Structure 1
């Protein structure tokens, strides 16, 4: 009986240890600092302050101003790191890298790629969770019905989501949705599709409005001029 008890306890502990941190509920994860620090991510860095643009030797460059809040950067570099997280039960694609940034004991930034073969299932789930996208950015490929990319687009999207257009030279292009953006509940989500030889892959970015306005995240440190997110910048934030 004792042996059975210990087996049950060990199974329970293993299940607890294998539980992944769900990144689909970033707005609910207050007090997340200790949770992240205890997961055992292989690469952890700290950043104090925010990014600002400065002029140096006649050129503009980003420089870290070390006044302000402390952020912790978790870089997902190994398969073990990747397996610590998921997004609404979708696993992160093995072989990719990722990044999670915590600031003020909240998740300020996420960048991950989810399993490629579930790219469109993830898109459907995002629409269910977040509603209609605030922006949709399109891309196009030269329209040749024998082209593998054209076939892939036509087989992957509903007819209403693609369109054949002509340019000024009368060449035809197949237009399809490339990037979906939501701004909801204090976070901006950007889900981008990448067309490969035989399938689509994806990239998911989540950034808090606070981190965006406070210029905490490198790469999103010029909010007024950000080509996609600038419409969400408010100087009175």
Structure 2
């Protein structure tokens, strides 16, 4: 049985975001609305190491290292501190093949899904917007993976465009690496409508777009 954290249970826990852009900074966001990255890294570390990394500890670390300067959590900033704290190896990549090999070695990962891509008529599987999930296992075939989604709700995977892509077994979600990789494919700023996320991407001007944060024991 995996350790699981669902962000929707924490509407009362504040998590300010977008602190890097004062005019867009959000003081009304909470773990429920913006804490998917915190929940995902909490689940990965706890399940991988056997040492609990509670949600509140992940939140406090994110605030301490300013990983909340983005809309949600900047995993590029948070993940190295998490790896250091727990003595884990970390690789940050956009390559699903590296994800596959890490999982086959017994690692676990935080994956950053993109959401809907209406310009391609693509419906986001794990979210309609940006979102993090925990990838905790892979079958020996190297293709079928187990995902823990911190925003899982009863009817989430019964929407048009999502139906049939996930097999639910409680909070363990079974899908394929190819389906997950398609959901994590980077979407450039020009494809987004005007709003907070596009403003952040234009402000940040990141040239490396990691989609997977691979954690393994040393």
Sort the TM-score into its range (normalised by shorter chain). under 0.3
More helix by share: 2
Compare relative contact order (CA 8 Å, sep 6+) and give the higher one, 1 or 2: 2
TM-score when normalising by structure 2? 0.26
TM-score with structure 1 length normalisation? 0.25
